[in-house]
Structure 1
Amino acid sequence: MTAKSKKTFYVLLLVALGIFGYCFWLPLRPIDIVAVHHREYGFSSILVRNFPFTDKDKIGWWLKNKDMLKGKYDIPKPEKDGSFTITFWLFGEGYKENDGYDRLCFNDIPPPLNCIDKDAVFSVSNSKNLGTIFTTYDGKYQLQKNGDIVKFTDEFEFK
């Protein structure tokens, strides 16, 4: 091995170790709950940073932390029939002014900086008919009575 090829090898090894370390660190970052906003009819929004990437990790985080969310933030706030929806939004660049188009604005804080860009990463809903449903980018999942989590499949096939 020449000196130049050794140098190239060590640089590539260092880059690979850096990438590996970063990928290992990403899922271990603590999830930061920035704010919680309650709306009417059992709807709540939780603004987060560093939310898990995979569907499994998002659902697992909810199952592990739902009691903490109830105790600390009074989430969920179900309706009389037990239904609720909680949406987790990436906080991104923080609160912004209403652009008149597609920002989510909260009535419980005064304008002008009371809106966020709509970047939902996860939602949890509960209803009498369906039970607990988790919604992610990749699909919907239902919590079964036995504790299993089953992914919804398309109910209708067109022929």
Structure 2
Amino acid sequence: MQANIKKTLYTLLLMGSILPGVVFWLSARSVEIVAVHEDREFSSVLVRNFPFTDRGKIRWWQKNKDMLKEKYNIPKTASDGFFSMVFWDFGDGYKEEGKYDRRCFEDIKAPENCIEKNRIFSVSDSKNMGISFTTNDEIYRMVKNGKIVKVVAD
């Protein structure tokens, strides 16, 4: 019985020391922008290694929004100031449309012009709502003083 307890403790200790290293490694990877597809004020940004926390996603966008404008000329805004940018996980790359509900892009030649619909993050700006960030589970808004607040569902 004592040997089993020791073995369990050693296993927990080992996992407890490896897990923080794995989390650090995952969070330290550079975001790779694979491609950008545009349709007027709607931009799709295909990425790899995007941050996995809501805070990390929003921070990444804040830190890189000027680079996105300079390098890719996005976001493009409508006459009323609206724009929408969706960051998609590029995953296994472009695929044929074939499967139901893939996101396909008309600005590249078929047949391999689609990706799996795995939306990671989106940023939009509108006259009524201001800048909004949408993650898998939550919506955040930037208020007038620049602070970002989570939208609480009614």
TM over 0.5: yes
- SS in structure 1 of the partner of residue 96 of structure 2: coil
Counterpart position of 1:86: 85
- Structure 2's unaligned 5+ residue stretches are none
Q: CA RMSD in A?
A: 2.1
The equivalences for 1:43-54 within 5 A come to 43-54=42-53
Counterpart position of 1:29: 29
Q: Please give the alpha-carbon distance, in whole angstroms, between the structure 2 residues aligned to 1:100 and 1:14.
A: 42
**Higher alpha-carbon Rg:** 1
The CA deviation string for residues 19-61 of structure 1, in whole angstroms up to 9 with x for no partner, is 3211111111000000000013x10000000111111111111
Counterpart position of 1:115: 114
**TM-score of the two chains, using structure 2 as the length reference:** 0.89
**Distance change in 2, residues 1:9/1:119 (3 Å):** same
The share of aligned pairs that are identical, in percent, is 58
Counterpart position of 1:77: 76
**Distance change in 2, residues 1:151/1:11 (3 Å):** closer
- SS in structure 2 of the partner of residue 64 of structure 1: helix
Q: CA deviation at 1:18?
A: 2.9
Counterpart position of 2:137: 138
Counterpart position of 1:18: 18
Q: CA deviation at 1:16?
A: 3.9
**TM-score of the two chains, using structure 1 as the length reference:** 0.87
- SS in structure 2 of the partner of residue 114 of structure 1: strand
The CA deviation string for residues 100-121 of structure 1, in whole angstroms up to 9 with x for no partner, is 5200000110001000000001
